[in-house]
Each structure stands twice: as C-alpha cells, then as structure tokens.
Amino acid sequence: MNTLSKGTIIAVLLVAILIFGGIAAYADTFPSPEPFEIWSEDETMVFRWTLIENREAQARFYRSGELIYTIDKLPSRGVTARNFIFSQDFRHFMFMPTTGFEVALEFYSNGELVKTHYIRELVRNMNNVSQTVTMAMWRTWLPNAEPPTDSIAENDVLRIMTIENVMYEFDLTTGAILYRSGNSSVSLRNSAIIVGGVVIVGVIVLLLLKRRNRHHS
C-alpha cells in the first residue's frame, strides 16, 4: 500500500480538527446583564438582583420593605430570573448557574448557602456532558414542566432531569436529594457525533488512497 503524502496527512488532520474542534467548543453569546426582581405571590417579599461588577452580582431580599439579607458575589453572566426557584414561603431558593463546568445547583436558606450539588455528582458519565466555551450541558427537558428543565411539585420538591435522562427530586428547603430515578439509559448524542466524525475522516482517507492508487496505476 502506498504511503500518504505530507499534504494528504495535513489535509486529513485539518478535517479532523474542524470536526472535533466544533464538538469541543461553541461560542457563547449572552445579552448584557439586567437587574430584575422576583416577588412573592402576596407581594410582601421581593428578591432584587443587581449587577455590581462585570461578572458578579448582588442579591437583596426584602420583607414588607425591610432588608432581611444580602448575598454578594453571585455570577452574573447569562443569569435571569429563570435561574432561581423559590420555596412556597419564599424563605428558600435554588440557584442554577448558567455558566461554569463544576457547580450544578446551589440551595440557599434565609440567605445562607446550605447545599451545593456538582455536575460530576449528578451525572454518572461526564463524557455525556457536552461543553461550550463557558457552559456544561448537563440537563435535558423534563416532560410537561414549565420551564422545561425544572418542575416544582407539592411540598417544595424540585424535579430536574439530567442529560442521561435521570430524574432527581430535591428538597427545595435543604437541597437534599429525595429521589433519583433508576433509568440507566444515557444520552448517546456525543458518542454519535464522535463516531460520525471518525466515519467522515475514514471515508476521506479511503477516497484519497483510491485516488492516489489510480494515479500510480
């Protein structure tokens, strides 16, 4: 079998870099952070989120106009009101960062961080988690939920489904895991993309070999 020329090898490597480089990282674009408020149903309590620095924010919680607590140094990039879910009494909440590759969920009680869950803790195989430049895609849609990834059941139970289709139920007041589904099926998206990339590179190599052989015959 004839060996490939240096130019052919470089061409194949460039194709592989384009394929796998596209898998590993995608550009992330977020609108500029804007202040927002989250009100309790009876409108006696309000959670106010404000930008204090380029990548940090501050949250203040008021009850009947009185400042109850302040939380400093929250991330700001990509954060909106949808990143927070409050308990029914508004004393506890879950914060889900938009960016980052480690923290999945943070649970606060009366302004104090009481529990942190990490992505590697909730996802069995980290190879199933695709990444962009700033985000880890570790969740998937939870059926019949609004918003689609999160659901509040009765008694402050938060439901979230991972990319591996494993559903967790958390106690929203403590962050404790109450239930994890036994579904062992995993997302094959990344594996399929990688296999597809390998097949494409293999086809290119075979075509180049056939073309080279024809030229020498």
pLDDT at site 54 = 65
pLDDT at site 105 = 97
Judge contact between 202 and 194, C-beta under 8 A: no
* Token pair listed for 167: 């559903």
Highest averaged pLDDT of the listed ranges 21-30, 145-154, 185-194, 206-215: 145-154
**For residues 91-117, average pLDDT:** 96
pLDDT above 70 (res 8): no
pLDDT above 50 (res 200): yes
**Residue 6 — very low, low, confident or very high, per pLDDT cuts 50/70/90?**
low
pLDDT above 50 (res 181): yes
pLDDT at site 165 = 93
* Token pair listed for 76: 């700001």
**Residue 157 — very low, low, confident or very high, per pLDDT cuts 50/70/90?**
very high
Q: Give the Cα separation of 179 and 177 in Å (integer).
A: 6
CA distance from start to end of the chain: 12
**Residue 154 — very low, low, confident or very high, per pLDDT cuts 50/70/90?**
confident
Residues 6 or more apart in contact with residue 113 via CB below 8 angstroms: 106, 107
**Residue 3 — very low, low, confident or very high, per pLDDT cuts 50/70/90?**
low
Q: Give the Cα separation of 90 and 22 in Å (integer).
A: 42
**For residues 149-178, average pLDDT:** 92
Closest CA to 98 of 139, 51, 135: 135
Q: What is the crossing angle of helices 6-24 and 189-216, to 10°? A: 170
More confident residue, 104 or 216: 104
Closest CA to 23 of 198, 157, 205, 212: 198
More confident residue, 51 or 14: 51
17's enclosing H/E stretch is: helix 6-24
| CA max distance for the chain | 88
Per-residue HEC secondary structure of 140-160 comes to CCCCCCCCCCEEEECCCEEEE
pLDDT at site 87 = 95
Encode pLDDT of 39-96 as tens digits: 999 999 999 999 987 679 999 999 999 999 999 989 999 999 999 999 999 999 999 9
Mean confidence (pLDDT) of the chain = 80
Distances from the Cα of 195 to the Cα of 28, 62, 125, 174, angstroms: 25, 53, 17, 42
Least confident of 8-12, 85-89, 133-137, 172-176: 8-12
Bridge partners, 59 (sequence order): 49, 71
109's enclosing H/E stretch is: strand 103-109
pLDDT above 70 (res 209): no
Q: Give the Cα separation of 142 and 78 in Å (integer).
A: 21
Predicted TM-score (pTM) of this structure: 0.70
